[in-house]
Structure 1
Amino acid sequence: MRTGVVILPEHPWPQAREIWQGAEEAGFDHAWTYDHLTWRSLRDAPWFGSVPLLAAVAAVTRRIRIGPLVATPNFRHPVVLAKELMTLDHIAGGRITAGIGAGADGFDAQALGGPVLPPRERTGRFEEFVDLLDRLLRQQATDHDGAYYAAREARTVPGCIQQPRIPFAVAATGPRGMHLAARHGQAWITAGDAARPGELPASGVLPLLARQTRALDEACTRAGRDPVTLDRIVLGSRLLPGLTDSADRLTAFAADCAALGFTDLVLHRPRPSGVFAGQAGTFDAVVAAALPHLARLRPAHDGNGGTAGGDAPR
């Protein structure tokens, strides 16, 4: 099982550089940052832009895969985002994975002053967003007229280093989103119940993940895709607070997730207080003890390595 870490974009660059380089040195396979204008209880706290941050990280790391988790249509246009992702892929030497999701109805959805869309329309917008982003990153010139977006000879030159485009990791909990993951993704991401983030009791986590993986298998079958070829990422720290309090707890949860077919486990680096509060020293020690064991776990579904690169499905 591969393991990743989320590092919130809240640190001044000298500190952020040390944290991201430390994640690479610790042996994480991938590292991510939230792509929001701000986030929940941290709305009035320091918060930096994900794209320039990832460009800086790409320049000071060598091995670890990096990306946004997740970019959404709430304030991203596919034409601009495609150019930025292509550029990041070149700076990183082919180490970018694009985490993408439909977006919720929070601050990001309101900051630009447009109407807040109901869930069904957000999903429809996301379908168009993913389809257009896929085409923009595959070809040098794109035209598009849709319900939500337009493109006029939009250029993506010279294209991505990773061909035919960078990998997509698609966050989804519902059937339409899972169908998108099956059609366009190298990986699927879940943080549990989108309607009740962080509210699920611990006893309900694994049954929920089991139901979601079965639904994903069904979505792949309907899309004519072998489910084994789609990697599965679970955001463990969003589901189980205190997951990294001990190596035994982390390893046990990872083993349960691998048995359900998950190929990747993502953890949140702790903060001093508030959301994701914890001790960085404890986190580092637990990760150091657990990562060798996690690396030996073989998922029930052994995916195609989407978070580590590879061809994008058509």
Structure 2
Amino acid sequence: MTLRLSTVILPVDRWHEGGRETWRRAEELGFHTAYTYDHLSWRTFRDGPWFGALPTLTAAATATERLRLGTLVTSPNFRHPVTLAKELITLDDVSGGRITLGIGAGGNGFDATALGQEPWTPKERADRFGEFVPLLDRLLTEDVVTERGTFYSADEVRNIPGCVQRPRLPFAVAATGPRGMRLAARHGQAWVTTGDPKLYETGTAAQSVEALRGQIERLGKACAETGRDVAELDKVLLTSFTPEKNAVLSSLEGFVDFAGTHRDLGFTEIVIHWPIQDSVFAADQAVFESIATEALSRLG
């Protein structure tokens, strides 16, 4: 099974003070895709610089030529399908068809209350996500859309000429629960996971592997229920949230072992965070770059 290697570049640097060069370097290193978080702020970075995801990706599209670009992930917390669709179509056009939309239900972080609302319950998030994704799918594939939903509506919305990628840009749906996995099966070109969050602090690597195996099995069942072959979906693992945390980037040999184990589970893409010193994503830049350029060739 072919494995791809991608990276996440957090939007923490001013564009003309290192930001642009990081995205260019990601392309030079041969990453398949460079993603960024679509948040208004995030955890330990909340009181520091943090720029918008879609403008950052637009700038990155003009600074690169081959690198795929994307969000990991966008959520309904502060997005609406109508406005998001227009921005994505524009971004897909500017990039020449190099955009992937990572999309998830969102959580209880800072984004959840930034617009003044009370945080949604897990059921409310799932309900909204279940409406958000199908409407966004329509908005990106149809010239004119009218729809009345419980949470999201569109009234004669025009999205001409549509995406460069046809029938639309790909969705990478982040999900671990049954409803989200059904959305991935119906609308996704890829499925995304960070592993089992219950194992992050005290779990073992072996427990994480078994949890991920179970997730892939449940994804297969969701695909079977919708009449889809699970092999059609790419399976994307965003690292740094399993028990191994940033030990994944501590050495080339360690990463090759990690990547081989997860490739054998069925993952087709592994995503590693671009190092940010003095943060939870601190790592040795030289080791990171050796992983980018050598790891895949070392996998048997």
Q: Residue 141 of structure 1 aligns with which residue? A: 144
Q: Residue 247 of structure 1 aligns with which residue? A: 252
Instruction: Give the Cα separation in 1 of the matches to 2:248 and 2:127.
Output: 34
Instruction: Give the Cα separation in 2 of the matches to 1:68 and 1:48.
Output: 13
The residue type paired with residue 230 of structure 1 is: L
Q: Residue 263 of structure 1 aligns with which residue? A: 268
User: Which among 122, 126, 130 is matched to residue 125 of structure 2?
Assistant: 122
User: Which among 24, 28, 41 is matched to residue 25 of structure 1?
Assistant: 28
Q: Given the alignment of the two structures, is residue 158 of structure 1 paired with residue 161 of structure 2, yes or no?
A: yes
Q: Give the aligned CA root-mean-square deviation in angstroms.
A: 1.3
Q: Percent identity?
A: 51
Structure 1 residue matching 2:120: 3-state secondary structure = coil
Q: Residue 13 of structure 1 aligns with which residue? A: 15
Structure 2 residue matching 1:86: 3-state secondary structure = helix
Q: Given the alignment of the two structures, is residue 191 of structure 1 paired with residue 191 of structure 2, yes or no?
A: no
- 1:195 deviation in Å? 5.5
Note the residue ranges of structure 1 that are not aligned, 5 or more in a row. 298-314
2:41 touches 2:50 (CA, 8 Å); kept in 1? Answer: yes
The residue type paired with residue 289 of structure 1 is: E
Larger mean Cα displacement after TM superposition, 126-135 or 267-276: 267-276
Instruction: Give the Cα separation in 2 of the matches to 1:226 and 1:54.
Output: 31
2:38 touches 2:72 (CA, 8 Å); kept in 1? Answer: yes
- 1:140 deviation in Å? 1.0
Structure 1 residues 222 and 187: alpha-carbon distance in aligned structure 2, compared to 1, 3 A threshold: same
Within 5 Å, which residues of 2 pair with 1:278-289? 278-289=283-294
Q: Given the alignment of the two structures, is residue 225 of structure 1 paired with residue 228 of structure 2, yes or no?
A: yes
Q: Residue 70 of structure 1 aligns with which residue? A: 73
- 1:183 deviation in Å? 0.2
TM-score by length of 2: 0.95
- 1:55 deviation in Å? 0.2
- 1:259 deviation in Å? 1.1
Q: Residue 312 of structure 1 aligns with which residue? A: none
Structure 2 residue matching 1:238: 3-state secondary structure = coil
1:181 touches 1:188 (CA, 8 Å); kept in 2? Answer: yes
1:191 touches 1:197 (CA, 8 Å); kept in 2? Answer: no
Q: Residue 209 of structure 2 aligns with which residue? A: 206
1:79 touches 1:136 (CA, 8 Å); kept in 2? Answer: yes
The residue type paired with residue 171 of structure 1 is: A
Instruction: Give the Cα separation in 1 of the matches to 2:295 and 2:65.
Output: 23
Instruction: Give the Cα separation in 1 of the matches to 2:267 and 2:125.
Output: 27
1:173 touches 1:194 (CA, 8 Å); kept in 2? Answer: no
Larger mean Cα displacement after TM superposition, 199-208 or 254-263: 199-208
The residue type paired with residue 211 of structure 1 is: G
Instruction: Give the Cα separation in 2 of the matches to 1:193 and 1:70.
Output: 17
Q: Residue 83 of structure 2 aligns with which residue? A: 80
Instruction: Give the Cα separation in 2 of the matches to 1:257 and 1:196.
Output: 16
- 1:199 deviation in Å? 5.5
Note the residue ranges of structure 2 that are not aligned, 5 or more in a row. none
The residue type paired with residue 5 of structure 1 is: T
Please give the per-residue CA displacement for 1:57-86, whole angstroms capped at 9, x wherever unaligned.
001111111011101000000000001111
1:168 touches 1:187 (CA, 8 Å); kept in 2? Answer: yes
The residue type paired with residue 21 of structure 2 is: E
Instruction: Give the Cα separation in 1 of the matches to 2:36 and 2:202.
Output: 22
- 1:274 deviation in Å? 2.2
The residue type paired with residue 203 of structure 1 is: A
Instruction: Give the Cα separation in 2 of the matches to 1:58 and 1:215.
Output: 35
Structure 1 residues 228 and 202: alpha-carbon distance in aligned structure 2, compared to 1, 3 A threshold: same
1:245 touches 1:286 (CA, 8 Å); kept in 2? Answer: no
TM-score by length of 1: 0.91
Instruction: Give the Cα separation in 1 of the matches to 2:156 and 2:222.
Output: 33
Structure 1 residue matching 2:281: 3-state secondary structure = coil
- 1:13 deviation in Å? 0.5
